[in-house]
Amino acid sequence: MDELKKLIRDIPDFPKKGILFKDVTPLLGNGEGLRLTVRKLADLIAGKHVTKVVGIESRGFIFGTALAHEMGLGFVPVRKPGKLPYQTVRESYSLEYGTDAIEMHRDAVAPGERVVIVDDLLATGGTMAAAAKLVRAVGGEPLAGLVVIELKMLNGRDKLRGLDVHSLLQY
């Protein structure tokens, strides 16, 4: 994983003062790094009988779509409010620098579908917990949460009890 860590750039004071942003764009721009990341994410859920991948806006779209493609599964975008054109379910959550909400199409996950939720980063866990609630609200079963980066000092896993959480890189 050291080769992947070398592809993560630190941006101080983004999006606001006091935040050290972990920028994955150098990783995305490196073909071998991106390929390795997607393969490692796929390995984490091999044999779990996942039926769909849910990706959280916006960098979760990138890793989630690549993972869905790698595994031959469908992809579900979870977006900020007002961005999806069909009937949605909404969940509000807290994050390390404010509050927000996310939405998913009401019919994107069928009852009983087994899904994995993907994002680039796990910080306080609010976004992924909200995504898991959306999946449950429509009858789906969130099996696992996958992230490229976990900021362990923020204890995001505490909000994700009952969800099998995996991260490739920890800081």
Q: Is 96 annotated as catalytic?
A: yes
Residue tagged active-site, from 59, 91, 103, 150 = 59
pLDDT at 114: 98
d(CA 131, CA 121): 14
d(CA 64, CA 57): 10
CATH number of 48-170: 3.40.50.2020
Q: Which two tokens stand for residue 124?
A: 């306080």
CB 131, CB 150: distance < 8 Å: no
Q: Is 59 annotated as catalytic?
A: yes
> How many CB atoms are closer than 10 A to CB 139?
11
Helix or strand holding residue 12 (H, E): strand 9-12
pLDDT 10s per residue in the chain (171 long)?
899 999 999 999 998 899 899 999 999 999 999 999 999 999 999 999 999 999 999 999 999 999 999 999 999 999 999 999 999 999 998 766 678 999 999 999 999 999 999 999 999 999 999 999 999 999 999 999 999 999 999 999 999 999 999 999 999
Q: Is the peptide bond between 15 and the residue preceding it cis, with omega within 30 degrees of 0?
A: yes
Residue tagged active-site, from 57, 79, 90, 96 = 96
Confidence (pTM): 0.95
d(CA 39, CA 168): 11
CB 54, CB 109: distance < 8 Å: yes
